[in-house]
Structure 1
Amino acid sequence: MANHLYKGDLPNGLHLGPVVAIDCETMGLVPGRDRLCLVQMSGGDGNCHLVQVAPGQTEAPNLCRMLTDPKVLKLFHFGRFDIAALDHRFEVLAAPVYCTKIASKLVRTFTDRHGLRYLLQDLLSVDISKQQQQSDWGAETLTPAQLDYAASDVLYLHRLKDALDRLIAREGRTGIAQACFDFLPTRARLDLAGWPEVDIFAH
């Protein structure tokens, strides 16, 4: 496994494959308020590619091209937040997408353990550390521990998707899962537009 850190954007000519796992690190948990600092990605080959986003930066052409490529499935855990954070910073809506947290909630209704750490433990017998989760991601220089932590959030998502897809198919929920994934970018935009916790389908 290797971590590749870039400033501002992915390098020209880098192709991460048809399914790219993506996660974001920000200064907080409010996409419209808290600055996007880091975007980490993996094509499922054990390597992580990390883009450090500068304060005030609003363009990352290569990254945005991948986010909107209809031939590349963007794989998230709790994509609702990451999609909103990316859209707020770069004004680009990631699609098509898959979210392992939504997938887990659709089929693992016997538990409330849907966080990434729990899913990796339960489905892949993998333990990851969350020690750096609340560190300062806006620092000019990120530590090796921060980079390793960020990488761990994407390196296992391909395997996790495979395990969840088997459960979704077993329970006959493939269609409804896909419909949820298709709606997810719109849900992220509703968050940014001021409807974060409002159920627009309620009476």
Structure 2
Amino acid sequence: MANYLHKNDLPDGLDLGPTIAVDTETQGLSLVRDKLCLVQLSSGDGDAHVVQMNRDSYDCPNLKAQLSNPKTETIYHFGRFDVAIIQRDLGIKLGGIFCTKIASGLVRTYTDRHGLKDLCKELLNVDLSKQQQSSDWASDELTDAQIAYAASDVLYLHQLKNILMARLYRENRMDMAQACFDFLPTRADLDLQGWNEVDIFAHSFRRRD
């Protein structure tokens, strides 16, 4: 198991396979204000690749090619935010999507704890450290602790996906989950265009301008 830090883009020739776990780190959680700083990826082999973005240009053809490949499935936890920030700053549309948080919400109905730390503890008996969660991800030089934290957010997503998929099929909710995953790019577009806090499916709603 190793964590690799890449500046600006993935190296030439690196193929992470047909299913890639993906996470992002940003300066904050505002889709209006905060910029994409890191993209973390794993093929599920125990290694993590952390791409430190050039926030002036986002010139990363290798990364964009892997994520936008229609034959590539990408796994996220709370994909709603990651998909939005990737669409906004990298300017690409993603291929197939699986979100472990959505899957958890559909099958772990006995709890309201659907965070990645909660999932890893219950389903994998892994304790994730969230010590670096509030961190300066825009720093030119990342610490080893920051890199390890960023990597941990993708290292277990393949295992979680497999467990949650089995439960989705068991509960006959896979079709519903897939419809939610397919809707995520549109949900991200709605967030980016200002409908992030409005339920447009409700009988009555008022947009906050």
Instruction: Tell me the TM-score normalised to structure 2 length.
Output: 0.95
Q: Distance in 1 between matches of 2:136 and 2:193?
A: 27
Moved over 4 A (4+): none
Question: What do the CA deviations read for 1:169-194 (whole angstroms, capped 9, x no partner)?
Answer: 11110100000000011101110011
Q: Who is 2:47 aligned against?
A: 47
Q: Tell me the CA shift for residue 14 of structure 1.
A: 0.8
Q: Tell me the CA shift for residue 93 of structure 1.
A: 2.1
Aligned 1:1-203 pairs, distance under 5 A: 1-203=1-203
The question of whether the paired residues in 2 share the 8 Å contact of 1:95 and 1:185 is answered with: no
What letter matches 1:139 in structure 2? S
The question of whether the paired residues in 2 share the 8 Å contact of 1:26 and 1:138 is answered with: yes
Question: What do the CA deviations read for 1:105-125 (whole angstroms, capped 9, x no partner)?
Answer: 011111001000000001111
Q: Distance in 2 between matches of 1:86 and 1:32?
A: 13
Structure 2, unpaired ranges of 5+: 204-209
Structure 1, unpaired ranges of 5+: none
Question: What do the CA deviations read for 1:5-27 (whole angstroms, capped 9, x no partner)?
Answer: 11111111111011100000000
The question of whether the paired residues in 2 share the 8 Å contact of 1:130 and 1:149 is answered with: yes
Q: Percent identity between the aligned chains?
A: 59
Q: Tell me the CA shift for residue 202 of structure 1.
A: 1.8
Q: Distance in 2 between matches of 1:32 and 1:60?
A: 22
Q: Distance in 1 between matches of 2:58 and 2:75?
A: 22
What letter matches 2:163 in structure 1? A
Q: Tell me the CA shift for residue 57 of structure 1.
A: 2.2
Q: Tell me the CA shift for residue 140 of structure 1.
A: 0.2
What letter matches 2:179 in structure 1? A
**What is the SS of the residue equivalent to 1:44?**
coil
Aligned pair count reads: 203
What letter matches 1:19 in structure 2? T
Task: Please identify, of 2-11 and 86-95, the stretch whose mean Cα deviation from structure 2 is larger.
Answer: 86-95
Q: Tell me the CA shift for residue 70 of structure 1.
A: 1.2
Instruction: Tell me the TM-score normalised to structure 1 length.
Output: 0.97
Q: Tell me the CA shift for residue 33 of structure 1.
A: 1.4
What letter matches 2:70 in structure 1? P
RMSD, aligned CA: 0.9
What letter matches 1:180 in structure 2? C
Q: Distance in 2 between matches of 1:18 and 1:91?
A: 21
